């Protein structure tokens, strides 16, 4: 380990590169002392100056230390103990942006390494799987398909053994068949897992880098099992019935509990929804739940799709401090470093989601996002504001992010 740039605290013993609260930004550069790693080091130092931040920068070339961090491609950059990039040297501006938004580095929506989709082998969940595959393909992440089994009598082929392990194998086989059949129209060749459930299947044989696929059967009541499972993934995709029955599925007992209690963002996809990217994203939050991290989390997601974010507040007429609240939105958006313009709209209505869908229709919104800091806001939206008529007529995907629980 070679230290290439150091700004020491008043007492060197207080700063080891892993400390908290010393005011320094801790950076590690993993490389082989070659041209690219030296270039990365130079840009890191320039980024610290541009961001007006104190930093402690270490260069690491020891192969064992590099491997222990799970790094596969050099050079790599770690900020505050989080590997933020591998195999490339970004611009000084991009590195400075990462440093300014280091509070995002423990947020799952920022990383999106593992995208999971909960299925029940229905047409609705087949569309959710297709949707999730396309997102994982865009993110170059892993895709895991999960089935929650709460009865040993599930499955179309009874297990002769009568034991849980037998039913598990039955459901695993059905799940893998469902995955193969669903992804085949996309040109994806899915080879079911091997001997052990959850073992990664064979990769898609198309040219180009494709997501690694795995499947898993989890046990217990679906809402409880999926909430527990959400601790292990970065994004959970679930199906909603779309036209004619969205309310029953999206706000049925399982989906409501998962959306309220999940430890990762949850994306609901209607049966008729087709993934074409997210060009326009509608961010909806009451002012009580507004905080800079919530905005940054949404911006980090939107940035991956080069999306325009519409910040929309719905409330009664004559609200006080609206200008001050808009300034808070704008300040948080500015801190994110996004180069898209800031759009803020206020809609006067007692029907929160009805007004949001009206805005979505006229502005060609591709995704509706609820980012909450307090669970009570989501409760109020679910049980007081959403009307069956509005939901039943919309196929708009819905992303729920609990800012306070979206942590690695």
* CATH number of the CATH domain containing 41: 3.40.30.10
257 in the same domain as 286: no
Give 253's pLDDT tier (boundaries 50, 70, 90): low
Residues 209 and 330 in one domain: no
Q: How far apart are CA 172 and CA 169, in angstroms?
A: 5
Q: For 165-183, what is each residue's pLDDT tens digit?
A: 566 788 888 999 999 999 9
- Same-domain pairing of 60 and 159: no
Q: Sheet of 343-348: strands edge to edge?
A: 213-219, 142-149, 114-118, 235-240, 266-270, 398-402, 367-372, 280-284, 308-315, 343-348
Backbone angle region of 162, left / alpha / beta, with phi > 0 → left and psi within -120 to 50 → alpha: left
Quote the pLDDT of residue 202: 45
The contacts of residue 7 (CB under 8 Å, 6+ apart) are 24, 54, 55, 56
Take residue 359 and report the two structure tokens written for it: 């805005």
Tell me, yes or no, whether 230 lies in a domain: yes
Is 295 part of a structural domain of the chain? yes
What is the maximum span of the chain, computed from C-alpha positions, in angstroms? 71
Task: Work out the average pLDDT over 196-208.
Answer: 45
CA-closest candidate to residue 254, choices 232, 236, 272: 236
Q: Are residues 287 and 348 in the same domain?
A: yes
> Does residue 258 sit in the same domain as residue 137?
yes
Which of residues 70, 100, 130 is at a domain's end?
Answer: 100
Using CA atoms, how far apart are residues 153 and 171, in angstroms rounded to an integer? 10
Question: What DSSP letter does each residue of 329-342 carry, written as one string?
Answer: HHHHHHHTT--SPP
136 and 200 share a domain? yes
* CATH code of the domain containing 135: 3.40.50.620
Is 160 inside any structural domain?
yes
Check whether residue 59 and residue 203 sit in a common domain. no
End-to-end CA separation in angstroms for the chain: 27
Residue 378 pLDDT > 90 = no
Alpha helices (H) in 121-202, listed in sequence order: 123-139, 164-183
366 and 252 belong to one structural domain: no
Does residue 105 lie in a domain region?
no
157 lies in the same domain as 248: yes
pLDDT at 44: 94
Of 249, 270, 291, which residue constitutes the final position of a domain?
270
Residues 251 and 141 both lie in one domain: yes
Q: Which of 270, 291, 312 is the last residue of a domain?
A: 270
**106 in any annotated domain:** no
Q: pLDDT at residue 47 above 70?
A: yes
pLDDT at 64: 92
pLDDT digits (tens, 9 = 90+) for 139-159: 888 999 999 887 654 444 444
pLDDT digits (tens, 9 = 90+) for 316-363: 777 777 788 788 888 888 878 788 998 988 888 877 777 888 899 899
Residue 405, classed as helix, strand or coil, is coil
The reply to whether 379 falls in a domain is yes
pTM, two decimal places: 0.78
The verdict on residue 407 lying in a domain is no
Please state the rounded mean pLDDT for residues 363-372: 88
Cα radius of gyration rounded to whole Å, the chain:
23
Note whether 206 and 138 are same-domain residues.
yes
The predicted-structure confidence for 183-194, as pLDDT tens digits, reads as follows 999 999 888 765
Q: Are residues 304 and 397 in the same domain?
A: yes
What pLDDT is recorded for position 17? Answer: 45
Tally of domains within the chain: 3
Task: Provide the residue range defining the domain that includes 265.
Answer: 111-270
Higher pLDDT, 71 or 371: 71
Higher-confidence position of 51 and 200: 51
Is 275 part of a structural domain of the chain?
Answer: no
Kindly report which listed range (259-268, 276-285, 297-306, 311-320) carries the lowest average pLDDT score.
Answer: 311-320
Average pLDDT of span 123-151:
89
Judged against a pLDDT cut of 70, whether residue 133 lies above it is answered with yes
Percent of the residues in the chain that have a pLDDT greater than 90, as a whole number: 31
């Amino acid at each position: 380990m070679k230290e290439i740039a150091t700004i020491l605290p008043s007492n060197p013993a207080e700063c080891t590169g892993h400390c908290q609260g010393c005011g320094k930004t801790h950076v590690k550069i993993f490389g082989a002392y070659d041209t690219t790693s030296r270039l990365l080091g130079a840009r890191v130092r320039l980024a610290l100056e541009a961001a007006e931040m104190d930093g402690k920068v270490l260069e690491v070339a020891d192969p064992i230390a590099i491997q222990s961090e799970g790094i596969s491609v050099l050079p790599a950059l770690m900020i505050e103990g989080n590997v933020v990039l591998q195999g490339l040297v970004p611009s000084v501006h991009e590195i400075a942006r990462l440093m300014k938004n280091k509070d995002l580095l423990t947020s799952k929506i920022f990383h999106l390494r593992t995208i999971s989709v909960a299925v029940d082998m229905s047409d609705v969940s087949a569309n959710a799987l297709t949707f999730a595959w396309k997102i994982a393909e865009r993110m170059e992440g892993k895709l895991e398909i999960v089935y929650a089994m709460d009865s040993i009598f599930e499955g179309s082929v009874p297990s002769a053994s009568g034991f849980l392990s037998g039913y598990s194998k039955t459901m695993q086989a059905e799940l893998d068949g469902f995955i193969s059949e669903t992804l085949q129209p996309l040109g994806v060749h899915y080879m079911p897992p091997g001997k052990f459930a959850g073992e990664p299947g064979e990769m898609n044989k198309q040219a180009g880098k494709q997501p690694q696929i795995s499947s898993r059967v989890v046990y217990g009541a679906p809402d409880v099992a999926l909430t527990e499972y959400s601790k292990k993934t970065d994004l959970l995709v679930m199906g909603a019935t779309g036209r004619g029955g969205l309310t029953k599925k999206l706000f049925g007992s399982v989906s409501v509990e998962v959306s309220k209690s999940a430890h990762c963002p949850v994306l609901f996809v209607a049966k008729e929804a087709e993934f074409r990217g997210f060009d326009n994203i509608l961010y909806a939050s009451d002012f009580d739940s507004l905080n800079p991290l919530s905005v940054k989390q949404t911006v980090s997601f939107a940035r991956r799709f080069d999306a325009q974010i519409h910040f929309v507040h719905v409330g009664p007429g004559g609200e006080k401090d609206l200008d001050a609240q808009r300034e808070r939105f704008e300040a948080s958006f500015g801190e994110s470093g996004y180069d898209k313009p800031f759009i803020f709209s206020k809609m006067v209505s007692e029907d929160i989601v009805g007004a949001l869908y009206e805005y979505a229709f006229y502005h060609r919104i591709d995704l509706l996002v609820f980012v909450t800091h307090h669970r009570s806001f989501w409760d109020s939206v679910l049980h007081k504001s959403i009307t069956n008529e509005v939901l039943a007529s919309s196929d708009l995907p819905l992303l729920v992010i609990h800012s306070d629980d979206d942590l690695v």
